Structure 1
Amino acid sequence: MPNRTSNILIKPISFSENDMFTLKKHLSQRDWSMFLESASLDHVDSNWSIYTSDPIATLTQEKNKVLFNNFSVSETTDMGNDPLKAQSDIRQKLFHAELQSEFPFTGGVIAAYHYEMGEIFESLKKSQQNEGLGLGPFHCGFYDWAILYNVQSKQYFLVQHRCKNQELELDILWVTRYQWLTELINKQSKAVAAFHLSQAWQSDYTESEYHKTFATIQNYILSGDCYQVNLAQRFQAQYEGDEYQAYQALLLENKAPFAAFIRLPEQVIISASPERFLLSTNNQVQSKPIKGTMPRSPNANHDLINKNILLHSEKDQSENLMIVDLLRNDIGRVCKAGSVSVPRLFDIESFPAVHHLVSTVTGDLSSQYNSEDLLRACFPGGSITGAPKIRSMEIICELEKYQREIYCGSIAYINGNGDMDSSITIRTLVCKNQKIYCWAGGGIVADSKVESEYQECFDKVSKILPILSQLNNPDQI
């Protein structure tokens, strides 16, 4: 049975797995295609996947100006310099705030927010301007349709939103979209080259450079500048072929609850994130910061030992609690007084590469704020900066060689009614000009050991770097 309101129509569709495989291949080659996937049947946050492309409008930044590109009238408008205010204004102008709580996305915003977007909202004393890839701090699409996949029931749905500027009947819009998708399925696929690395991964840190940077952070901690700093290193390689194939390989290996594939005009984003940043449903807010990591072992007994070590590690619990307190403060800026709580502390969540220590922070969003305000209050996530946040970000800017780009930023969707879900973009890669970039890092505190922190970076990407090195490259197997 269809599920509908005056301006939102959601109907089940009977596309086969082969149909969807073909359709996703076609959509993945289109600029502004956005796939948000739950790749695990077992993870508590794996519920839905979302597939869309061809937005009705976009929001980007060029030379410190926020630009609204309205494709329906082929018009570009300067929206000032505040991306989240512009996003909120446009979202509410285009989309109806009708409730559809059963389904995750019913038309609205899907966006990639780079870590550096946080510098727009926070005043940092920066000692240098780190080299970047020239990609801009955010990329926001406004989508009036999506295919939704229920991971548990294995059922597909097509959602069509009739925007405030659209005059056609809702049923006509839905049927037209369905016919277009069917035509894509029946269309002959263009041949694409197989993805493979043409140059091996290289880190921007030698081990000795990492040790030196680690020591600098320790000095900052001992002098009272901060309690924790998240230090990341960047890996890069050259590649050839189709980035979507790389994404599919990582999806299979990592089983991430917050996986994403995003093709933009100047970059491709591939994410295998395990971490929820901010969820807001009917103004109920949840964040699930990760802080604490142990590698998985193929030996079941050793794996259980590692899990128990992490569960009872005072050091990891201390790190986790620092970030929980930071998130409580950030969320509390826009939630009702007294509503912020920590219902779960120090849970273990296990993934193919690592075990993680995860806590849950909740609150009730105050009526004068919306999801964009919540993002502004919390961005970037405290689990990937350190504490206190501003000073940690300044130290990160001083010590890391390159901008983080989408790494440690967020990928989010926001409905017309303001409901939102988002990830912290760890285990996330960027492809540009036949170069692929991947980052890994960890939180450094006073009693951290440099050898352990250095190794933790490689543990976190143990299901990423080797997988892509071997993909379609028999010499590396």
Structure 2
Amino acid sequence: MSSPDFPSRTVAIKTRKTSPGSDAAFLDLAREIGKTSYSAVLMSGGDLDCSRYSLAFSEPVCCLKSFGAKIILETAQDKISWEGDPLAELDRLIQSFAPDFDLGALPFAGGLAGYAAYELKNVIEKLPQTAEDDLGLPDLFFFLPSKIMIHDRHESSLTFLELETGMPPIPPAHSHDVCNGNHLKTGVPVSNFDPKDYMLAVEKVIAYIREGDIYQANLSQRFQFAFEGNPFALWERLFARNPAPFYAFIHAGDHQVVCTSMERFLYRKGSYIETRPIKGTRPRGKTPEEDQRMKEELASSVKEHSELSMIVDLLRNDISRICVGKSVKVTEHRRLEAYENVHHAVSIVAGELRPGITPGEILRGTFPGGSITGCPKIRSMEIIDELEPHVRHVYTGSIGYLGWHENMDLNIAIRTAVRKKDKAYFSVGGGIVFDSQPADEFDETLHKGRTLLETLKSL
């Protein structure tokens, strides 16, 4: 089937604001939203400059999914599929519903919410895929919500938006029952690498670096475990243990995504765009003195400095593809940020977008984020596919929103688990450079997954 005409509707928006509105009040309402299929919650925690807003999306009037070049559009009345360019179709869908009136100053007042899986790379570049795809999840999953809730954590307010599109919302799927109650029962996580094999894979990456193929590559291992109960309840427990700016929960019908990310991939407001790569990790200390020592060790690490600087250069190049010439700058380099379990080194790369550029064009020029691939990006992705046994799916893709009024906010989907049927899967990884030590790299993946692993042990 050829590409269909998308519905075009004049959209009206009803707005209601309440105050005060706390994190707890938002979470109480979001918990109910998370029970329904085709819903999403983006939760901010901590006090960083990127953690002002939390948002929840529900009752979508349409949902766009893609599997390679196969595209599916679902509405309450129909489900149609065709072959095409997923990013071009994403743009068409956003534009077809966009209103012709001002939306005000809210961070999001309509558009699409959802995720882009790591495997979307395969429709952007010509890449091999020999890793096993054992879950069959979409490359793109974005829906247009008719109900939106926004929590402004600075103003302690809640804003409720209702979009009138002339189309009924998609009825919830039967699988929404998995998010009722707070029952949780999990099995022992089992990796798709044993420690020796993971360290051997690290050595292979280092060999590629010696041969001049790459400067660095991100390598991850995936854990699988039995899961029974409510994934939103797990997400809440993780947030309570380790709040961060880019938590996300998506109920996608036949699977649910639990993301505890602290890394921003892309933020757009008008012509301004930024990315915030994270490279460099140290565990938090058990005492203030040990914690300070870990922080100083990260700040003085030549390896971590080199790793982050290479990724910053890669992202400057990616962002330059979509920006006005010479507008891309590193506005902050190697800022140290402290989280519950780790310290991270973070940089900010920002630029001025070319006029008229679309969300799909922005993703085509930058996706996936360089901090979770390596440098150079394409060769690193080829090596990742060679060495990792399974495709990554949502892990190291992006979750967030693409708005109508030249706005977007997408995370890097690290610290992320996917639940499908009676199993859950999560991956952890790290950047490998010339002087990486295989045993240290394996240990770093466990530090990054510690919050989830310890939460699972406590259930």
TM-score by length of 2: 0.91
Match runs of 1:155-166 below 5 Å:
155-163=157-165
d(CA) in 2 for partners of 1:200 and 1:260? 24
- Structure 1, residues 98-127: CA drift from partner, whole Å, max 9, x if none? 45463211011002111011111011144x
d(CA) in 1 for partners of 2:99 and 2:146? 11
Report the equivalent of 1:196.
185
What secondary structure does 2:312 align onto? helix
| Matched residue type, 1:313 | S
d(CA) in 2 for partners of 1:22 and 1:213? 44
Q: 371, 384, 388: which one pairs with 1:396?
A: 384
Asked if the contact 1:108–1:144 (Cα under 8 Å) also holds between the matched residues in 2, the reply is no
Q: 38, 42, 46: which one pairs with 2:44?
A: 38
Asked if the contact 2:72–2:80 (Cα under 8 Å) also holds between the matched residues in 1, the reply is yes
Shift of 1:62: 4.8
Shift of 1:64: 3.6
Report the equivalent of 1:102.
105
What secondary structure does 1:457 align onto? helix
d(CA) in 2 for partners of 1:319 and 1:12? 45
Asked if the contact 2:67–2:139 (Cα under 8 Å) also holds between the matched residues in 1, the reply is no
Q: 141, 148, 168: which one pairs with 1:139?
A: 141
Asked if the contact 1:193–1:240 (Cα under 8 Å) also holds between the matched residues in 2, the reply is no
Shift of 1:52: 1.7
d(CA) in 2 for partners of 1:43 and 1:196? 33
- Structure 1, residues 412-459: CA drift from partner, whole Å, max 9, x if none? 201112310110000111001111111100000101111211110001
Shift of 1:162: 3.8
Asked if the contact 1:107–1:160 (Cα under 8 Å) also holds between the matched residues in 2, the reply is no
| Matched residue type, 1:196 | K
Asked if the contact 1:96–1:417 (Cα under 8 Å) also holds between the matched residues in 2, the reply is no
Q: Does 1:338 align with 2:326?
A: yes
Report the equivalent of 2:229.
241
d(CA) in 2 for partners of 1:125 and 1:234? 20
Match runs of 1:457-476 below 5 Å:
457-471=445-459
d(CA) in 2 for partners of 1:223 and 1:152? 51
Shift of 1:78: 3.3
Q: Does 1:53 align with 2:58?
A: yes
Deviates more, 1:78-87 or 1:142-151: 78-87
Q: 187, 200, 203: which one pairs with 1:212?
A: 200
Match runs of 1:293-442 below 5 Å:
293-442=281-430
d(CA) in 2 for partners of 1:235 and 1:423? 21
Deviates more, 1:128-137 or 1:81-90: 128-137
d(CA) in 2 for partners of 1:366 and 1:64? 27
d(CA) in 1 for partners of 2:317 and 2:21? 46
Could you tell me which runs of 5 or more consecutive residues in structure 2 were left unpaired when the two chains were aligned.
1-10, 169-178
d(CA) in 1 for partners of 2:21 and 2:220? 42
Share of identical aligned residues, percent? 33
d(CA) in 2 for partners of 1:56 and 1:227? 45
Q: 73, 78, 81: which one pairs with 1:78?
A: 81
Asked if the contact 2:26–2:151 (Cα under 8 Å) also holds between the matched residues in 1, the reply is no
d(CA) in 1 for partners of 2:208 and 2:64? 38
Could you tell me which runs of 5 or more consecutive residues in structure 1 were left unpaired when the two chains were aligned.
1-5, 167-172, 174-189, 472-477
| Matched residue type, 1:345 | H
| Matched residue type, 1:192 | G
d(CA) in 2 for partners of 1:11 and 1:193? 30
What secondary structure does 1:269 align onto? strand
d(CA) in 2 for partners of 1:65 and 1:191? 32
| Matched residue type, 2:16 | K
Aligned residues: 441
TM-score by length of 1: 0.88
Q: 8, 11, 26: which one pairs with 2:16?
A: 11
What secondary structure does 2:60 align onto? coil
| Matched residue type, 1:156 | L
d(CA) in 1 for partners of 2:361 and 2:196? 42
Deviates more, 1:388-397 or 1:62-71: 62-71
| Matched residue type, 2:92 | D
| Matched residue type, 1:67 | I
d(CA) in 1 for partners of 2:85 and 2:30? 33
1:16–1:344 distance in 2 versus 1, CA, 3 Å: closer
| RMSD of aligned alpha carbons | 2.2
What secondary structure does 1:465 align onto? helix
